[in-house]
Structure 1
Amino acid sequence: MKNNSCLQADGFSKNLDKYYDLVSWARWNPDLWWDLITPPTGGIRLDLDQRVYLRCIARFVSNYMVFPRGYGKTMLEVMGMVHTAIFFPDIEISMTAQTKENAAKLVEEKFREITKFYPMLLHEIQGRPLFSKDSVEIVFASGGRIDVMANAQSSKGARRKRLNAEEAALLNNALFEDVLEPIVNVPRRTIGKEALINPEELNGQINFMTTSGFRGSDEFERNLRMIDEMAELKGKIVLGSDWQLAVKYGRGEPKSAILDKKSKLSPTFFAMNYESKWVGASDGALVNINKVLDLRTLSQPEFEGDGKSSYILGVDVARSQSKNNNQSSVAVLKIKRNKEEKITRISLVNLINLPIGMNFTGQAIEVKRLQNLYNAKTVVVDVNGVGTGLCDELLKDTVDPNTGESLGCWDTINTDHEPEIQRSDKVIYALTAQGINHDIIVSFIDMVESGKLQLLVKNVDNSYDINDTDSTKKSLPHIQTDLLIEEIANLKLRQTQSARYTVEQLTKRVDKDRYSALAMGLWYIKNFEDKQRKVKNKMVFLYN
């Protein structure tokens, strides 16, 4: 008689073709495989659109998925990664995001959720998955491995077989081509003796998953190219939907809640996050939106001055009586100089929108509080029109109603306005000159083009709600920066008959208060802070 091992070997050999068919079927139909391991209770019942999503990931060499918040795209993305790691031995697949922390958090949360819904997966895991603040490593019995990387130079030189780029709308194309695209250059080899490269495998697959972004950006152009390549049958797929598809299947928030958000949120924010529309101007834009996105390198906001740097506040005063359009904005700009006192960097460390409907007295109190927090050297206020009302209040001696402490009385630097208390500190720069808008626009464009301006990075943690008044203090400046970029993307540059520049809004429903506050502050810094230091250095040289 044959021993048991021989019987087992003969049994395996006898049914080898069936195993082959099973693996081929599961690779080609990932959704049906997930059905196969779904427990009787507590699992996920996949909807038709989710099945299409999973099959596209398994069948095409590159996929661009543009879906709204609440759709469940990250869950499907990780499900696709798990399926790949199980059915392709020794494959290495990675999720990339703006930071490794972001990617690690997403993979850990979704992987734990998936194993909860599909407990059979735990038998496919080798050892214990390793999760930390900025790393993930999940090793499967097949030898497949899932980990995370950042969309940054730190990932250069790494090698993986497939990549999933999370929040792809934020990608910098130059960095993508230099760092991320080469990561998947080396294809997977089979684990048999011959170690072959399977020509029918999706070697070098890169998938892009995101909410929509801005027209004219690198990723918008990538979308258009991939749509053409999809029509030309080059193995590319572009999928997308708005919020209504998930709601139709009963996923995410109810229809009433989303429509309520639509009535309250910025139309640009809603269009990108819920309608999957690419927004902004592609022709005649104020600035190249790619260059604006590249400025988002500042990781943390500042809520008070550091005691050694110069700060300037730019204040744009609300001009509309509309409830949704009467918020004054304050831009907090930090100046960084080199050893020769030349300005090398201007960082927008905080951006504040004052509460809706606040009167000039209340606005003056908030502006003076901010000036005290940062010990700001100058507060630039547009006093044309309604801005005069705020300026008048700033010229008064102000008492903090919460603490009873004096917030001070200010004088203007450049006008003959009389403060309530003589010889008050000259803090206010009152923008009064007619026709200065052209110069403000030019200085803003210059700061963007030169890369001197630094903006806060996008907060990709989707756990916050922009309408939630309890949003953490730390997240608010990031959110305000998102809204600033929406405003910039909504502006078109127009030249008047007198060859002067002006800007116009593509849609009046999107404000430009944040842009105005920032642009005024940048104009002041360029024309006065830099100029003053140059004069000072020249005088020192002459004296010596």
Structure 2
Amino acid sequence: MKKMSSYKNFQDDNFKFTKESSRLVADNPAFNSQVKISDLKKDSFEDNFETWVEFLQWARWFPDLFYDLIKPEKGGMRLDLDQRVFLRCMSRFVSTYGVFPRGFGKTMLELMSIYHTCIFFADINVAMSAQTKENAASISEDKHKELMKKFPLLQNEIVKPSFSKDSAEVIFKSGSTYSILANAQSTKGQRRHRLNIEESALLNNELFKDALEPVVNVPRRTIGEMSVISPFELNGMINFVTTSGYRGSDEFNRILNMIKETANLKGKMVLGASWELPCHYGRGETRNQLLAKKNDPTTSATAFAMNYESKWVGATDGALVNISKLLKIRTIDKPELNCPKDKRGNFELNEYIFGVDVARSNSQSNNKTAIVVLKIIRNKTGTIRQIQAVNIVEPPNGLSFKEQSLMVKRLFYAYGGNSDMFKSRVKAIVVDGNVIGKGLIDRLLEDHTDPDTNEELGCFDTINTDQKPDVSPAIEVVYDLTAQGINGEIIRTFIDYVETEKLKLLKINDDIKGKSVNSNVNLEEDKARIHTQYLIDEISNLKLESTQKSITVKQVLKKIDKDRYSALAYALYYIFLFMEKEETEEVYDLDDDLVYF
């Protein structure tokens, strides 16, 4: 049997279609040039068994050349050198970690690797997992259609593809199947032979160990009479494909460990590239477009670093909180843009706290305000069990303090605010009263009429100062927070709520991760999710620093603001001071059992 090295020249230009046979013919002498079309018609499969074995070995080892083999004469997909390396690694190593920018084509290559595996390994079950099944199904259907268009001969290998909103399954003639899973506890108990994890940077290790890693515990068996487990097969393969995430996270540590295993020849491979590599080959956006996006003052520096430069961002030493813990508390499925109403049209009995930070951005000269809406969830005894950040709003740049105060008042009424504080769902608006924040507080204490709807927005009053409102009596809802002297306590309170997992944040989907609030995002729900992503970026950029009197936070990169973090921290501190209730155990009285009503 020939060595695999004899196929080193087995390239795209060595093949052609013949009109007479409609069959792909190898003209390369290294590919057994003695076999002619007429001989193939006469000989049985057994007579050419060794040739088929050799071809199978070659195709398994060179997935990129297999796709060259079946590429049509016109159209199709031209694989660049970096894409060929990535495809080969996913076929030759027990685990490959690919960190690539948007526009690289990583998801397409991932599906090409999966389909190649399903064709050349009989009865194998391969899955791809994403943040949700809906996301995985959408990705699969889109890339499947693209793959069938670029390589029409693949349709001969597929029995039936089926896609729906939250499911995808492709059955191959080899008996293999491709399906999807979610990066969630719902995957627990599922079994596949190989697994590809999409956007793995969003994972936490606890979920991976408990639900995803056991998926590939059962190896594939051959379909012959022996039905054995091949010792030469990469059973239990798990590949990771993602854009970059945060330093100190579980996935960042996984990559560091895999780099060591790569160096020690443990069967692992780590690959990565910035936007410059696909741009060099003409894929994705052009260099000028990407540089313009990078220099755009409205583009988040952290988001660009993760989505295009493949940099793992954030503080490594002395981080404000454990970034893995912060990613773990993203459990809220849907934002709340207002207080829900019951069937009678009345506001539900919820409690909301607004945190407002007024600041001047380091990258922009105009005022910039962040408003965080927190919803309090209590148990039957009145103890706070969860604090949910259900919405984050940022007024457009350049708004005056009066315009910003109008926005705060509109939100107050949208979340069930009322002049009667016993009936009001909004219990407090916590405003940073240092320097610039005083201007917003002054405006909140003025009597306003909404210029858009002509509705009376009323006049607010402070809870904790002697400052007089324009009209008395007014709604006592504004808490003037002066952080000087208590900054250490605010930071400790924030850390405590994250570490105890009382604080809950909105989930971040993959389709939101690469967007900004200035892109074509019309839904307010999407904007709330994007601002939550910005919040996590801000927190990951903060380091703890000790002073002689207390502790403070320092930004690793000055161009990344901390307005959303500050607004959240102020609101949490107010909750800690005035709304927490110690949980008391109910005393069980034996006489209660003897009471007869």
TM range (shorter): over 0.9
Whether 1:101 and 2:142 are equivalent positions in the alignment is no
1:70 to 103, 107, 118: 103
Spell out the pairing of 1:344-423 with structure 2 (5 A cutoff). Answer: 344-375=385-416, 376-423=426-473
1:321, distance to aligned residue in structure 2 (A): 7.4
Q: Which amino acid in structure 1 is aligned with residue 431 of structure 2? A: V
Whether 1:281 and 2:315 are equivalent positions in the alignment is yes
Q: Which amino acid in structure 2 is aligned with residue 224 of structure 1? A: L
Whether 1:81 and 2:132 are equivalent positions in the alignment is no
Cα distance in 2 between the residues matched to 1:331 and 1:131: 39
**Which position in structure 2 is the counterpart of 1:301?**
335
1:124, distance to aligned residue in structure 2 (A): 0.9
**Which position in structure 1 is the counterpart of 2:305?**
271
Whether 1:332 and 2:365 are equivalent positions in the alignment is no
Cα distance in 1 between the residues matched to 2:269 and 2:286: 29
**Larger deviation, residues 228-237 vs 149-158:** 149-158
- 1:408 to 1:223, Cα distance in 2 relative to 1, 3 A: same
| Structure 2 unmatched runs, 5+ | 1-39, 341-346, 417-425, 587-597
Whether 1:448 and 2:498 are equivalent positions in the alignment is yes
Contact persistence 2:247–2:314 (CA under 8 A) = yes
**Larger deviation, residues 326-335 vs 428-437:** 428-437
1:27, distance to aligned residue in structure 2 (A): 0.5
1:280, distance to aligned residue in structure 2 (A): 0.5
1:134, distance to aligned residue in structure 2 (A): 1.1
Other structure's SS at 2:197 match: strand
- Per-residue displacement from partner, 1:19-65 (whole Å, max 9, x unpaired)? 11111111100000001111122210110000001000010000000
2:541 to 483, 487, 490: 490
- 1:321 to 1:365, Cα distance in 2 relative to 1, 3 A: farther
Contact persistence 2:362–2:559 (CA under 8 A) = no
**Which position in structure 2 is the counterpart of 1:248?**
280
Spell out the pairing of 1:99-138 with structure 2 (5 A cutoff). Answer: 99-127=132-160, 129-138=161-170
Q: Which amino acid in structure 2 is aligned with residue 60 of structure 1? A: F
Contact persistence 1:464–1:471 (CA under 8 A) = no
Q: Which amino acid in structure 1 is aligned with residue 106 of structure 2? A: K
- 1:433 to 1:255, Cα distance in 2 relative to 1, 3 A: closer
Contact persistence 2:204–2:328 (CA under 8 A) = yes
Cα distance in 1 between the residues matched to 2:51 and 2:381: 75
**Which position in structure 1 is the counterpart of 2:231?**
199
Whether 1:237 and 2:269 are equivalent positions in the alignment is yes
Whether 1:516 and 2:566 are equivalent positions in the alignment is yes
1:109, distance to aligned residue in structure 2 (A): 1.1
1:122, distance to aligned residue in structure 2 (A): 1.1
From the CA coordinates, give the structure whose radius of gyration is larger.
2
2:244 to 202, 205, 212: 212
Cα distance in 1 between the residues matched to 2:537 and 2:304: 11
1:26 to 51, 59, 76: 59
Cα distance in 1 between the residues matched to 2:251 and 2:530: 21
- Per-residue displacement from partner, 1:411-444 (whole Å, max 9, x unpaired)? 0000001000011010100002531211110110
Other structure's SS at 1:149 match: strand
1:469, distance to aligned residue in structure 2 (A): 4.7
Cα distance in 1 between the residues matched to 2:395 and 2:248: 31
Other structure's SS at 1:63 match: strand
- 1:462 to 1:294, Cα distance in 2 relative to 1, 3 A: closer
Other structure's SS at 2:565 match: helix
- 1:417 to 1:463, Cα distance in 2 relative to 1, 3 A: closer
Q: Which amino acid in structure 1 is aligned with residue 441 of structure 2? A: C
1:470, distance to aligned residue in structure 2 (A): 3.9
Cα distance in 2 between the residues matched to 1:43 and 1:343: 59
- Per-residue displacement from partner, 1:287-321 (whole Å, max 9, x unpaired)? 00000000011111111012221111100002347
Instruction: Output the TM-score relative to the length of structure 1.
Output: 0.94
1:476 to 522, 527, 542: 527
Other structure's SS at 1:530 match: coil
1:324, distance to aligned residue in structure 2 (A): 6.6
Other structure's SS at 2:97 match: strand
Identity of aligned residues (%): 56
- 1:305 to 1:170, Cα distance in 2 relative to 1, 3 A: same
**Which position in structure 2 is the counterpart of 1:291?**
325
**Which position in structure 2 is the counterpart of 1:540?**
none
Instruction: Output the TM-score relative to the length of structure 2.
Output: 0.86
1:159, distance to aligned residue in structure 2 (A): 0.9
1:317 to 329, 341, 358: 358
Q: Which amino acid in structure 2 is aligned with residue 177 of structure 1? A: K
- 1:464 to 1:434, Cα distance in 2 relative to 1, 3 A: closer
1:68, distance to aligned residue in structure 2 (A): 0.7
Contact persistence 1:395–1:419 (CA under 8 A) = yes
**Which position in structure 2 is the counterpart of 1:3?**
none
1:465, distance to aligned residue in structure 2 (A): 3.3
- 1:462 to 1:77, Cα distance in 2 relative to 1, 3 A: farther
**Which position in structure 1 is the counterpart of 2:423?**
none
Q: Which amino acid in structure 2 is aligned with residue 79 of structure 1? A: M
Cα distance in 2 between the residues matched to 1:41 and 1:472: 41
Cα distance in 1 between the residues matched to 2:304 and 2:429: 33
- Per-residue displacement from partner, 1:105-124 (whole Å, max 9, x unpaired)? 11111111111111111111
Cα distance in 2 between the residues matched to 1:324 and 1:86: 58
1:473, distance to aligned residue in structure 2 (A): 2.2
Other structure's SS at 1:202 match: coil
1:178, distance to aligned residue in structure 2 (A): 1.5
Cα distance in 2 between the residues matched to 1:359 and 1:208: 47
1:144, distance to aligned residue in structure 2 (A): 0.8
Contact persistence 1:459–1:479 (CA under 8 A) = no
Contact persistence 1:465–1:471 (CA under 8 A) = no
**Which position in structure 2 is the counterpart of 1:542?**
none
Q: Which amino acid in structure 2 is aligned with residue 299 of structure 1? A: D
Aligned residues: 527
Contact persistence 1:160–1:184 (CA under 8 A) = yes
Contact persistence 1:318–1:325 (CA under 8 A) = no
Contact persistence 2:366–2:398 (CA under 8 A) = no
- Per-residue displacement from partner, 1:336-364 (whole Å, max 9, x unpaired)? 11111111001000111111121101110
